[in-house]
Structure 1
Amino acid sequence: MIDIEAVMADFAVRQAERKTEVAEEIQQLKAAILPRLQEAGIARVEIRFDGCGDSGAVEECVCLDVAGAALACPDVTLQEGEAGKADDASSDQLQSLGQALEQLTYLALERHHPGWEINDGACGELVIDVPEATFVLDCSLRFTATDDHSTEL
């Protein structure tokens, strides 16, 4: 017989561990990404995402200079140990800056808006202000609502 209380307790422990891991990975990625963006003269990064129907993806990553002109994402590789370890299968591989930006977005969504890809989903963007060293996740959660009325006549 399954001890549901033990299963739920184990699940809660694993969820807490994952929450801590994700927070640490986000901090590692932020620390690795910011200097690379500064070196490339990038002032702002806008990473757009969209999800619904049990799937979602980063749709676009735009790098901008101080004047607001689009720049190509620098073709640089993060050094071993700089990138987070969310994907154990690729933890031995070096990560490009573009991959790190995408991974940061997925980790931020996992941490702050789990289920962003489910049902009606969510959309938004992660905005990095490089000179200010700020990372802001804007997320619009979509949902279907009903406004039911029952009136006895």
Structure 2
Amino acid sequence: MNSRTSSLQNNPRLRGGFGRPATSVSPKSPATAPGSFHFRRIIMTDSQTTPEPAAGGAAFDRKQREYARRAEEIRAANKTVLFDALAAAGIETVTVLFDGYGDSGQIERIDVEPREGTIMLPSDRIEIARTIWESPEIERQTLTVHEAVETLVYDFLSQVHSGWEINDGAYGAFTFDVAERTIKLDYNERYTSSETFSHEF
């Protein structure tokens, strides 16, 4: 774990983001209202699963480009199967809030906006394809829609902002627009700054 701790991390009013989850969630909490879901999956930085530049920069760049190519190839199919399930359930948008720092991060909340009424994410199981770092194989998993949304969010974050949970971390939101069949990421990165002054008298 990185020992560097910023003042932002020690003051929840200053660090921004959606806040860290409590150890337990009260049934009366507004965040657990119909259409909202809490998740307790915590990710920790792992040197064996997080891509790090090798001694040869060119070799690492090739691996990174290949990883990105495989991820791009499976993205369209994953979006199609997920949006089909969401549309069939009468859902218009799904918003996923995430937050992380200090080498750990998690999904804070998933909000569902249906066409009418109040509904939950469907319990249907769908097949999602995943690409693994340094492996040419495509991994296929059969997941609930709930699990598929969570898995894709973490995969997208690792593809475009690997290490987002390290040090001061980052927070943001994914918006799944079912009608437009788009996934939008609003990403906010925290950092600690310092100013140095030198005086001689």
TM-score between the two structures when normalised by the length of structure 1: 0.81
For structure 1, which segment, 127-136 or 34-43, has the greater mean C-alpha deviation from structure 2 after superposition?
Answer: 127-136
Residues 1:121 and 2:169 aligned together: yes
Residue 148 to residue 95, structure 1, CA distance change in 2 (3 Å): same
Which of 30, 33, 37 is 2:86 aligned to?
Answer: 37
Can you list the C-alpha shifts for 1:97-124, whole angstroms capped at 9, x where unaligned?
1111112111221222222111111111
Which of 141, 148, 151 is 2:196 aligned to?
Answer: 148
Residues 1:19 and 2:65 aligned together: no
State how far apart, in whole Å, the 2-side matches of 1:147 and 1:71 are: 51
SS of 1:14's equivalent in the other structure is helix
State how far apart, in whole Å, the 1-side matches of 2:196 and 2:119 are: 50
Residue 6 to residue 148, structure 1, CA distance change in 2 (3 Å): closer
**Contact preservation (8 Å) 1:62, 1:71:** no
SS of 2:172's equivalent in the other structure is strand
Runs of 4+ in 1 over 6 A off after TM superposition: none
Question: How far did 1:63 drift?
Answer: 1.4
Question: How far did 1:15 drift?
Answer: 1.3
State how far apart, in whole Å, the 2-side matches of 1:104 and 1:23 are: 13
**Contact preservation (8 Å) 2:92, 2:114:** yes
Query: Which consecutive unaligned segments of at least 5 residues does structure 2 have?
Result: 1-53
SS of 1:148's equivalent in the other structure is coil
Q: Counterpart amino acid of 1:28?
A: A
How many aligned positions are there? Answer: 144
Residue 6 to residue 54, structure 1, CA distance change in 2 (3 Å): closer
Please name the residue that 1:130 is paired with.
178
Determine which structure has the larger helix proportion and give its number.
1
State how far apart, in whole Å, the 2-side matches of 1:133 and 1:140 are: 23
Please name the residue that 2:101 is paired with.
52
Query: Which consecutive unaligned segments of at least 5 residues does structure 1 have?
Result: none
State how far apart, in whole Å, the 2-side matches of 1:100 and 1:27 are: 14
For structure 1, which segment, 34-43 or 12-21, has the greater mean C-alpha deviation from structure 2 after superposition?
Answer: 12-21
**Contact preservation (8 Å) 2:130, 2:140:** no
For structure 1, which segment, 92-101 or 118-127, has the greater mean C-alpha deviation from structure 2 after superposition?
Answer: 92-101
Kindly, what percent of the aligned residue pairs are identical?
33
State how far apart, in whole Å, the 2-side matches of 1:76 and 1:10 are: 41
State how far apart, in whole Å, the 2-side matches of 1:27 and 1:55 are: 29
State how far apart, in whole Å, the 1-side matches of 2:85 and 2:76 are: 15
Question: How far did 1:6 drift?
Answer: 7.7
TM-score between the two structures when normalised by the length of structure 2: 0.63
Residues 1:84 and 2:106 aligned together: no
**Contact preservation (8 Å) 1:62, 1:70:** no
Question: How far did 1:70 drift?
Answer: 4.9
